[in-house]
Chains A and B, each alone.
Chain A
Amino acid sequence: MTEKTTMDDIKVIVFQLVDKEYVIPVSQVQSIEKMMHITRVPKTPSFVKGVINLRGVVTPIIDLRERFELQANPLDDRSRMIMIKVEDMEVGLIVDAANDVLDIPSSAIEPQPDVVGSIESEFIAGVAKLDRRLLVLLQLDKVLNPLQQVM
């Protein structure tokens, strides 16, 4: 992510979880899908909701709320699955809503403040202030990484 911030602008997708807005670079996003049938995969951490048939490719789905240990919310018709690709892993993230596509000037991105204790803090690459919005830049490889240990 650090090399991204040295570029002038980065294009990001903005999505919402509970009351906060998060962003991930467009380059890592494959598509945004509406909710569809998810097949549960047993013996996986609870935030792994299962797998879906994404145009013929079996793709795992992670509930970001549960991943960040936020309170669970029933899915509604604003819920979306953001399909991302990090290294060679393709995964879908369930978010409360996908809001926007934005260009963020890299100068607006600051390293995240040292807040201890929140689970999500380890997944955060930085924070961007844009007008009056506070956008949290996610570090996706961290979000996907520690599956083995949780199991």
Chain B
Amino acid sequence: MEMSQYLEMFIEESKEHLQACNQNLLELEKNPSDLRIVNEIFRSAHTLKGMSATMGYEDLADLTHKMENVLDGIRNEKIKVNTEILDVVFTAVDHLEAMVMDIASGGTGKRDVSATVSHLNAIDQGESITTASHEVAATTVAEPAGKSVLTYDEFELTVISQSQEQGFQTYEVSVSLREDCLLKAARVFMVFELLEKMGDVIKSSPSVEQLENEQFDQQFYVSIVTHEPADDVQKKLMKVSEVVEVQVNLVTVEQLNARNTISNQVEGSISEGTNESKDSAQETKNTPAKQGVQAGNKTIRVNIERLDILMNLFEELVIDRGRLQSISSELNHTELDETVERMTRISGDLQTIILTMRMVPVETVFNRFPKMVRQLARDLNKKINLEILGAETELDRTVIDEIGDPLVHLIRNALDHGVERPEIRVANGKPEEGTVVLRAYHSGNHVFIELEDDGAGINRDKVLAKAISKGIVTTENSLTMSDKQVFELIMASGFSTADTISDVSGRGVGLDVVKSTIESLGGTITIDSNEGKGSLFSIQLPLTLSIISVMLVEIEDEMFAIPLSSIIETAIIRSSDILNAHNQKVIDFRGKVVPLVFLDEVFDVPREQVSDEEFLSIVIVRKGDKMAALVVDTFVGQQEIVLKSLGNYLNNVFALSGATILGNGKVALIVDCNSLIK
């Protein structure tokens, strides 16, 4: 069977299941006794196993199977959850992730996992030995608790004892169905049909009625009287598809009588127990129901490339729309005007829809952090509590793809350099456990992602001393720098303040990369810090990368686009207002000295004649606190444009961040104001 068409889906779903595993494992670590979580993990692992076996990735299936064994042990309370076990399971999940990534990049998904496998096996076996003895010790009490699901009234007991006298055997059969079994009632029917061929069903739990209405979990109990040996019963039942487990236990009247007396004695506690199990059954039934509601909010998976193509096609449509508008205004035909206007409105709606389709909750990036923080905190011997807020905040897919690595770096940085060791924290009167808050929220046309820690904060003097020793700033300059400016030095290249370099962070190559990545996304990063109290890294990102508002300006006959986000205002000044300061032309703009940047010179625009106009059009732009006035020929107007790259051949052209296609089909270049301001 040709599998490649399913490969993509397999990879996507595997990633999702692994992510679910990770999340639930972290949950489990917090509430080790919550078996519902184990069930969730088990379900994910089980599906993953099935999928990978179907796709022929045996190694993947095998490791998942081993992991499943351990999870099963936990689920059946044979294995007690502790950190060591979770660590092993975590590494197993790590391996699985690596395998899936390998498959995604065209590999075979093979990987040396023998260490983890042996660990898993050790847990599985080592613990089951101890549980075996535990079982023996508890048999007398545990047996009724375990099997008392089936209780018999006097009539039934009489039937059993009579059949026993006639040479029939009585078995208690427990049947487990697959978790993803869809037609449970049908399977129940098949099981009953088989049982009734072999003998008589005396009792079932839940009742037959409930079973037919699928009012049970995965397991149900039946007792039958039959001539057949236990083995045969079991084998026959296993033939029913989607039945995963069948246990057949021989019972005798004596046992049952004994059990009844015990159950009478411990009636209270048992009925409590059954209530509880009923409750939990209710609960587990509720959860899928809830998920069902969510799934009712139907989604489909679409390849991002297709969305890009859709976007491109739509952009073409927008360009033609522009043309149509100008034609219709020339022709002055009422009906044509109306139609074009309608089309304009509809395509506007379409644009909004396409853009929102590209929006992805930032959760997809955030949800790998808890595990990373857990691991790092252990490596660093620190106690850290990561809080994630606003994970549902949506961002353009392109930004999502890029923002992961910078955030990883910032978090590592916060954990390594920010949060102090527990003993130091205690000595400084702080709680032993450090708190790192990762927060995302919308504000205006921007999304903010903030990382706040309550660690040591940034030591201004230490940073300055380091920066001076590295030659990043001069001693004189350092005296006049504001705190913010000093903090931003840690993002200069070639900078690292940790006294010792650790492998977690701190080779001084990271934060400058973080800064440039964020700037390349059209965002900014600022640092605020309070020594001894903690630091706040704040990243501001544009809501979407693909459509931005710009001001179109003309120089000679070339059109340039300046992003509105960096424009403060436009103005027309007299050329006599220009002042000279150190070979730099400046103007006095609202009391501030602003340097002039002649765009025609920067972009070498060919000029027919040197213009000496009395008035100059300027666009005042800013980068952080700094400003510059860009001199242009004429303002054309404000427009929403689609941002396009210049192609891979022309990456990194000076002072240009990309291009766009105008209504007339021509390309206009987008000015990167950040690189024009020094």
Contacts and interface: CB of A to CB of B under 8 A. Distances in A.
Interface of A: 37, 39-44, 48, 50-53, 55-60, 87-91, 144, 147
12 contacts: A37-B666, A41-B656, A42-B602, A42-B603, A42-B654, A42-B669, A43-B656, A50-B667, A52-B667, A58-B659, A59-B647, A60-B649
B604 A53 contact: no
B632 to A, nearest CB: 14
Given A56-B316, A91-B647, A40 B655 contact: no
B558 to A, nearest CB: 7
Contact of B312 (A41, A52, A56): A56
Interface string B621-665: 000000000000000000000001111111001111011010001
Given A41-B653, A52-B667, A53-B667, A58 B647 contact: yes
A43 B312 contact: no
Nearest to A62: B649
Contact of A57 (B312, B605, B653, B654): B312
Interface string B662-678: 00011111000000000
A139 to B, nearest CB: 16
Q: How large is the interface on B (under 10, 10 to 19, 20 to 34, 35 or more residues)?
A: 20 to 34
B604 A51 contact: no
A88 B648 CA distance: 7
B315 A89 contact: no
B312 A91 contact: no
Interface of B: 312-313, 315-316, 319, 558, 602-605, 644-650, 653-656, 658-659, 661, 665-669
B665 A60 contact: no
Given A39-B668, A39-B669, A44-B650, 5 more contacts: A42-B653, A42-B654, A53-B665, A56-B313, A90-B649
A60 B603 contact: no
Nearest to A148: B652
A41 B655 CA distance: 11
A43 B604 contact: yes
Nearest to A48: B650
Contacts of A51: 646-647, 650, 659, 667, 669
Given A39-B668, A43-B654, A89 B647 contact: yes
A144 B649 contact: yes
Given A58-B646, A58-B667, A60-B647, A39 B659 contact: yes
Contacts of A42: 602-605, 653-656, 669
A56 B546 CA distance: 13
B453 to A, nearest CB: 39
Contacts of B668: 39
A48 B646 CA distance: 12
Contact of B603 (A37, A43, A58, A87): A43
A64 to B, nearest CB: 14
B325 to A, nearest CB: 18
B645 to A, nearest CB: 7
B558 A43 contact: no
Contacts of B605: 42
Given A43-B604, A43-B655, A58 B645 contact: yes
Nearest to B660: A58
A10 to B, nearest CB: 24
Top-8 shortest CB links A-B:
A42-B603, A39-B667, A43-B654, A89-B649, A58-B659, A89-B648, A58-B644, A60-B650
B142 to A, nearest CB: 65
Nearest to B313: A56
Contacts of B648: 87-90
A75 to B, nearest CB: 17
Contacts of A91: 647, 649
Nearest to A145: B649
A94 B341 CA distance: 40
Nearest to B642: A56
B242 to A, nearest CB: 48
